[in-house]
Chain A
Amino acid sequence: MTTISRRDWLLTDRPASRRQARLGQIYRTWLTFRGNWLAMVGLAIVLALIIVALFANVIAPYDPVIGGDLRTARFLPPLTGNHLMGTDDLARDIFSRIVHGSRLTLMVVVLVAVIATPIGLLVGTSAGYFGGWTDTILMRITDIFLAFPRLILALAFVAALGPGIENAIIAIAITSWPPYARLARAETLTIRDSDYINAARLQGASSARILWYHVTPLCLSSVIIRVTLDMAGIILTAAGLGFLGLGAQPPQPEWGAMIASGRRFLIDQWWVATMPGIAIFVVSLGFNLLGDGLRDVLDPKARK
């Protein structure tokens, strides 16, 4: 009985409090999202990544950095003994390295999202809302960033800042905001002359207030969708920088760097490079599926 009444409480047309209205809205979104099984698969993968990263110490059977006996435990194939994915050239358990590597991947994803999304939103909504000179200057800066392929630009930044995972994250964040700015600007242009924005102006709201309370919430969903869909690319860029030796430094268990070091043994010991490759593939796929699902739920324009 309680479950039915809770559902009714959430789906009611006449909520009695701010909290109930907001929760009801979230629950309705969730109901639509739940109907899309591919999106649910994506969500499951992303949740699994988060859980693995949080409990890496518990899940990983071995130390990710210190290897085993170099005489007997090098290049053990998958499923030998306790090594689910085998061991690498330094006799380290690949499964443990991938589990710990998920922390680095998650860190990249979260930090880039936290840095790039606000920059993109701020630049895009301001450019779209104020128009004129503000728009021209902000958008030309955006164009300059967009003119370079992301990996090349990130390479240049890392080369200037010095290799390392932190600098790689900063470089990726700096290079990934321009598409969000473009998106937020386009979205802002369609709503800045709408009557509800005019109504806010007529209440004497300041430009900052209109941007923050009225414009940003409407741009947020399409930017979130775009960021989620971009996550696969961001993970690949981070892996690419790692692969080129400009991201995470050995012995950090970063997936791209793991592929780079396993590359030499690809013919005889295929699993050393393949296992982190599969991890990158699965997580990228997860973010893409999740992004597609979010688009179906949040973006009314894409809906049929």
Chain B
Amino acid sequence: MGEVMLEVQALDVTFRRGGDTVRAVRGVSLDVARGESFGIVGESGSGKSTVLRAICGLAPTTAGTIGLKGTSLATPRPADFYRRVQMVFQDPYASLHPRHTVDKVLAEPLAIHGFDRREARIEQALSEVGLGSDFRFRYPHQLSGGQRQRVAIARALILEPEVLLLDEPTSALDASIQAEVLNLLDRIRAERGLTYIMVSHDLAVVAHMCDRLIVMQHGEAVEELTRAALSAHRATTDYTRKLLSASEGYTPA
């Protein structure tokens, strides 16, 4: 394996709501090499999205360390972190500001980080995700779900990050649109040598997109698999086998 890009060690995330404490993530460790695509699979409540949110600082790290290229990350994250790590959210209907045009959505990160050649960068980002420049001044409500997700991907790419965190990027999309977005993500990774961490409940999507993956249940990583092992259905735990058989469709009891 090449140089380690991102390393998570014994991560614990605990939320306090009123008197209750919820241990959403318990002792999860993973390491992702530069240029690798890593998957996290699990059902709702397994803590898979919380791992992503902890990496980018949206969820509190109760214990454990998160390191980027060998340096441990401080909380709150330094401004420079957000130029290197970006995220694409699950629901394209909720991740774009309803009153901002595509142009404003893309100009905002450039303004925050003081980039030059903003016009050219916006045009380039739009064409890279397959949206022409006539989408530039539209509002989110004038876009379809697939187009919105392309805008969200453009927003993540415009800062030229090294790591992209993908939180179920296609689960809210129709199957045919999902294929287009997955192809887009695949192409961008090849072109830019990006590192992906992708969260999904869909084993087939992860098998298509990721080189390695962990399976999470109740906040813990129960199994780590390579793509080859997953494709050959060589799972060692019952839970993964159950997920595999359920994703084949319905089988009468």
- Nearest to A14 among chain B residues (CB) is B134
- Nearest to A198 among chain B residues (CB) is B58
Q: Which residues of B contact A213 (CB under 8 A)?
A: 108
Q: Which residues of A contact B82 (CB under 8 A)?
A: 202-204
Q: Which residues of A contact B175 (CB under 8 A)?
A: none
| Interface membership of A218, Cβ < 8 A | yes
The reply to whether A196 and B86 contact each other, CB–CB distance below 8 Å, is: no
**Contact partner of B94 among A18, A195, A201, CB < 8 A?**
A195
Closest-CB distance, B163 to chain A (whole angstroms):
12
Can you list, as one digit per residue, whether each of B77-89 has a CB less than 8 Å from chain A (1) or not (0)?
A: 0010111001101
| Interface membership of B15, Cβ < 8 A | no
Q: Which residues of B contact A18 (CB under 8 A)?
A: 101, 103, 137
The reply to whether B112 and A17 contact each other, CB–CB distance below 8 Å, is: no
The reply to whether A20 and B137 contact each other, CB–CB distance below 8 Å, is: yes
**Contact partner of A204 among B83, B90, B96, CB < 8 A?**
B83
Can you list, as one digit per residue, whether each of A200-226 has a CB less than 8 Å from chain B (1) or not (0)?
A: 111111000100011001100000000
Q: Which residues of B contact A25 (CB under 8 A)?
A: 139
Closest-CB distance, B94 to chain A (whole angstroms):
5
**Contact partner of A17 among B94, B99, B137, B142, CB < 8 A?**
B137
- Nearest to A17 among chain B residues (CB) is B137
Closest-CB distance, B127 to chain A (whole angstroms):
16
- Nearest to A205 among chain B residues (CB) is B112
| Interface membership of A13, Cβ < 8 A | yes
Counting contact residues on chain A (CB < 8 A from B), the size range is: 20 to 34
- Nearest to B88 among chain A residues (CB) is A199
Can you list, as one digit per residue, whether each of B52-95 has a CB less than 8 Å from chain A (1) or not (0)?
A: 00001010000000000000000000010111001101110011
Q: Which residues of B contact A58 (CB under 8 A)?
A: none
The reply to whether B137 and A214 contact each other, CB–CB distance below 8 Å, is: no
The reply to whether B58 and A202 contact each other, CB–CB distance below 8 Å, is: yes
Q: A13-B138, A13-B142, A15-B137 are in contact. Are A202 and B86 (CB under 8 A)?
A: yes
| Interface membership of B192, Cβ < 8 A | no
The reply to whether A218 and B155 contact each other, CB–CB distance below 8 Å, is: no
CA A279 to CA B58, docked complex, whole Å: 55
| Interface membership of B113, Cβ < 8 A | yes
Q: Which residues of A contact B234 (CB under 8 A)?
A: none
Chain B interface SS verdict (over half): loop
Closest-CB distance, B226 to chain A (whole angstroms):
30
Q: Which residues of A contact B130 (CB under 8 A)?
A: none
Q: Which residues of A contact B159 (CB under 8 A)?
A: 203
| Interface membership of B98, Cβ < 8 A | yes
Can you list, as one digit per residue, whether each of A125-168 has a CB less than 8 Å from chain B (1) or not (0)?
A: 00000000000000000000000000000000000000000000
The reply to whether A217 and B99 contact each other, CB–CB distance below 8 Å, is: yes
Q: Which residues of A contact B56 (CB under 8 A)?
A: 202
| Interface membership of A1, Cβ < 8 A | no
Closest-CB distance, A204 to chain B (whole angstroms):
4
Q: Which residues of A contact B97 (CB under 8 A)?
A: 196, 200, 214, 218
Q: A204-B79, A213-B108 are in contact. Are A199 and B137 (CB under 8 A)?
A: no
The reply to whether B138 and A203 contact each other, CB–CB distance below 8 Å, is: no
| Interface membership of B35, Cβ < 8 A | no
Q: Which residues of A contact B145 (CB under 8 A)?
A: none
CA A14 to CA B56, docked complex, whole Å: 34
Q: Which residues of A contact B112 (CB under 8 A)?
A: 203-205, 209
CA A201 to CA B76, docked complex, whole Å: 11
Closest-CB distance, A141 to chain B (whole angstroms):
25
Contact residues, A159-201 vs B (CB, 8 A) = 194-196, 198-201
CA A214 to CA B104, docked complex, whole Å: 11
The reply to whether B91 and A195 contact each other, CB–CB distance below 8 Å, is: yes
CA A194 to CA B159, docked complex, whole Å: 21
- Nearest to B56 among chain A residues (CB) is A202
CA A220 to CA B112, docked complex, whole Å: 23
CA A209 to CA B56, docked complex, whole Å: 19
The reply to whether B137 and A16 contact each other, CB–CB distance below 8 Å, is: yes
The reply to whether A14 and B138 contact each other, CB–CB distance below 8 Å, is: yes
CA A84 to CA B15, docked complex, whole Å: 71
* 15 further contact pairs, Cβ within 8 A, besides A196-B96, A203-B159: A13-B138, A14-B134, A14-B135, A15-B138, A21-B138, A25-B139, A195-B89, A195-B91, A196-B94, A198-B58, A199-B89, A199-B152, A200-B97, A209-B112, A218-B98
Instruction: Name 13 interchain pairs, CB-CB below 8 A, sorted by A.
Output: A14-B142, A16-B134, A18-B101, A25-B139, A195-B89, A195-B90, A198-B89, A203-B108, A203-B109, A204-B79, A204-B81, A209-B112, A217-B99
Residues of chain A whose beta carbon lies under 8 Å from any beta carbon of chain B: 13-18, 20-21, 25, 194-196, 198-205, 209, 213-214, 217-218
Interface pairs A-B: 8 shortest CB-CB: A204-B82, A195-B95, A21-B137, A203-B109, A15-B137, A195-B89, A196-B97, A195-B94
